[in-house]
Structure 1
């Protein structure tokens, strides 16, 4: 699901860059690079979430959907 979301986000961001910022896309690999950067960023966020849940497991219910508040 994350792969699909990052793919859609990369295409949407590229579309917005073309429409609003008048950016020219020279190659489809630009979209792939954007997609890769989103996946790496979101993987890092997932790692942070897992670390937070490790230190505060009692604060995360079993049905946790990924919202973690750090104090």
Structure 2
């Protein structure tokens, strides 16, 4: 999704990953990690308890984008705008990756 094979094994590695790939965005690291974890958790609950399977793993990413945009309202104005832009960039990237995966799957 983010163009790397390096995946975090624990919370501290996730922060290091954020620091490495998103320098200068310290104020957003916790919200980003929380949004991703919460999105995975809700997708898992939907699949497990409501028996609604994921159509694509990108559903979790889109849920995280929605959370980031929603939580941006809790931040200072300038940070809120940056977080909304970041959520939109993540959504655009996920949409492009989803199209690439669909094309590769068809071919």
TM-score, normalised with respect to structure 1: 0.62
1:34 equivalent in structure 2: 63
Superposition pairs of residues 44-55 of structure 1, within 5 angstroms: 44-47=73-76
Show structure 2 runs of 5+ residues with no match.
Answer: 1-29, 78-107
**RCO (CA 8 Å, sep 6+): is it higher in 1 or 2?**
1
Q: CA RMSD in A?
A: 1.4
Partner residue of 1:24 out of 53, 61, 86: 53
Paired positions, count: 48
Q: List per-residue Cα deviations over 1:11-63 (Å, max 9, x = no partner).
A: 00000000111011011111111000000000022258xxxxxxxxxxxxxxx
Report the structure number with the largest CA radius of gyration: 1
Q: Indicate the structure with greater helix content.
A: 2
C-alpha distance in structure 2 between counterparts of 1:47 and 1:22, whole Å: 39
